[in-house]
Each structure stands twice: as C-alpha cells, then as structure tokens.
Amino acid sequence: MRRRTPPPPSPLPQREGVDAVRVRLPFDGAWRTVREHLVERLAGAGPGVVAGMFDAGLVVGADGRAVAPDAAYVPGMFVWFHRELPAEVRVPFAVDVVYRDEHIVVADKPHFLATTPRGGHVAETALARLRRELDIPTLSAAHRLDRLTAGLVLFTVRPDERGAYQSLFRDRRVGKEYEAVAPYDPALALPRTVRSRIVKERGVLTAREVEGAPNAVTHVEIAEHRDGLARYRLVPATGQTHQLRVHMNALGVPILGDPLYPEVTDPAPAGDFRRPLQLLARTLEFTDPVTGTAHRFLSTRTLQAWSSYTEWATGRPSAAAATGTP
C-alpha cells in the first residue's frame, strides 16, 4: 500500500490560535477556474463572499501568493484562506495546565469551553486559547470533551507524534474516570455495568439507544449521596457520543444541568454560564507511547451542585468553577 503524501504546510500563519482553512481541489470536475469551484463549494458563505476573497487576494496557494480570480482550475491543487472569525462571548473561566513537556500538554478544561474549533466556537476554544497562551502553534487535541463537560484533555505538541497519542484512545489504552452529580435513587441497584447500542445521527442533537449489539459500555457506581443527590463515579470502556449522559438518563438519574437528556431544552443565551452540566473528566491515565512514561493525571475542579447545590441551582458562579481550585 502506498503511503499517503502529506499536504504541504500552510503558508498562512494562525489567527488567534486558529489555523487557516485548507482546501484540496477535487481530481474530477468541470470547473474552469479555482474561484468557480470555491464559489460553488462554499455557497453557504453568502453571495459575493468568496468572490470578494479572491478580489482581496485572501486565497493563496502553497507558495503563499494570492490565487488570481481567473486562475485555471488544477486538479489536486491546495489553497488556503482564513474565514472571518465569528463574534464570540468569552468563557470567563481559565484553562489550567496540569502537565507539560516537549511532547504533550494536559489541560483541565472548564465547563462551556469547546475543546476544538467547531461551528460558532472558534477562537474561544481550549485549543486556540492554549496555542496563544503557551505559544505552541503546532498544538493539537488528541481527543475531545463535549463543550459542556469539564475536565482533563490531552493535547500533542508535535504533529508527527499526534497519531501515536490518538491511537491510545482508539485502541482503548487510556484509563478514564468521570464524576457526575445526579438524583439519588435508593431503588437503583449499583454498582453495575451498563451495556447498550447508542447511535447519533447527523443533524440530531441527541443520541439514543437502539436494539443491537452493544457499542457503549459504562461502569456506574455511587461515591456518596446526601439530600436526594448522589456523586457518581463513571468509568467508560467505550467512547460513543454522549455515552455517559445517555446511560445515566437510561438509569433514571439524568445528570444535573443536562440540556438534552431527558428532554431537549431551549439553548441558553450567549453569555449565560449558569447551572453547568455536572459532569467532570476526573482522571486520565496512560503510558506515553513516545517516552514510555506512565502518567496519571487528576482534575482539581469541583462540581458545583455537590459543593453548594443552592449556588448551582440559583445560578450564582463559584470561585471553584472559575479557577479550577478544589
């Protein structure tokens, strides 16, 4: 099997820690010019936007020079450009660096901050922030946490080593433990291991359980309980989208602050950081595939509904949520 030739490096620097968009022109097609193809491909950008980018010299080739508006279409050609960054409300909580060496960065992400750029969350993401704050433009995420989930995320420093760290998650060689706050049900027999088949369809906000061979496995146990609530320890053996949230909901104890389970609620307005989802990626454990070092990292964040349910329920921010301190 022939090895795939890597694309050339971007000729454009990052903006606010965000990479330029790279597009490779298809090998089949009947477009006459590069602009004609991109106008069609990026139709969602709006009338005249892509043509305006060409007129302003904002679309460049591998040599960093602007691609002329009438440049002939070349199959397989790479072009780069920066999209306009969306207006974003700053998430007013810090990303804490737990560990850093020449190969990896382990960060403790707050609630509400996306791991990587996606949709309307671009510069205001953990990845873009860390690139700026640590001055590591090559930083990449080895895996992702949901935007509403807080806790530990592994980032890689060197692009040629990223695959080795990603394979840890693909091959299930990472020990992960989560913590959640949810209602306490004395009739619910725990500990137990939940096994089910979860599917997540494109364009649908929620995932759901269906008949079929299990593809999602979670060990669930109670760490402690009081006043009708419990602090749960969740150990996933798989990594399906929304797996922990779906399994807790299926057990009849949905995680506090979940806007999707058991019912989809209206989106919170921009800048509303009240009542965060009470789910935390507490521990991350693995053997470094590059150095052979055995690592075990622990988040120091606390779940506000457990430390002060009244503050969480009334939407008052806590210092622990903001700083990541216990």
CA 86 to chain centre: 18
Spatial distance between the Cα atoms of 74 and 53, rounded to a whole number of angstroms:
19
Spatial distance between the Cα atoms of 28 and 9, rounded to a whole number of angstroms:
24
- Indicate if the alpha-carbon torsion angle 69, 73, 79, 83 is positive or negative: positive
Out of 146, 160, 266, 288, which one is annotated catalytic? 146
Is 146 catalytic? The answer is yes
DSSP 2-50: PPPPPPPPPSS--BTTBPPEEEE--SS---SBHHHHHHHHTGGG-TTHH
Spatial distance between the Cα atoms of 35 and 61, rounded to a whole number of angstroms:
12
How does strand 140-141 pair with strand 150-156?
antiparallel
Cis preceding linkage at 262, omega within 30: yes
Encode 25-58: b = buried (16+ Cβ within 10 Å), e = exposed: beeeeebebbbbbbbeebeebeeeebeebbeeeb
Catalytic residue IDs: 146
